[in-house]
Chains A and B, each alone.
Chain A
Amino acid sequence: DAGVIQSPRHEVTEMGQEVTLRCKPISGHNSLFWYRQTMMRGLELLIYFNNNVPIDDSGMPEDRFSAKMPNASFSTLKIQPSEPRDSAVYFCASSLGPGPEAFFGQGTRLTVV
Chain B
Amino acid sequence: DQQVKQNSPSLSVQEGRISILNCDYTNSMFDYFLWYKKYPAEGPTFLISISSIKDKNEDGRFTVFLNKSAKHLSLHIVPSQPGDSAVYFCAASAGGATNKLIFGTGTLLAVQP
Contacts and interface: CB of A to CB of B under 8 A. Distances in A.
B85 interface: no
Main secondary structure of the interface of A (DSSP, over half): strand
Given A33-B100, A99-B32, A102-B101, A43 B43 contact: no
Interface of B: 2, 6, 32, 34, 36, 41-46, 49, 89, 91, 93, 95, 98-106
A103 B42 CA distance: 12
B100 A48 contact: yes
Contacts, number: 67
Contact of B102 (A31, A39, A45): A45
Given A43-B89, A99-B32, A104 B45 contact: yes
A4 B93 contact: no
A101 interface: yes
A91 B43 contact: yes
A: contact size bracket:
20 to 34
A55 B49 contact: no
A22 to B, nearest CB: 15
Given A48-B98, A55-B98, A107-B43, A101 B106 contact: no
Contacts of A40: 105
Nearest to B33: A100
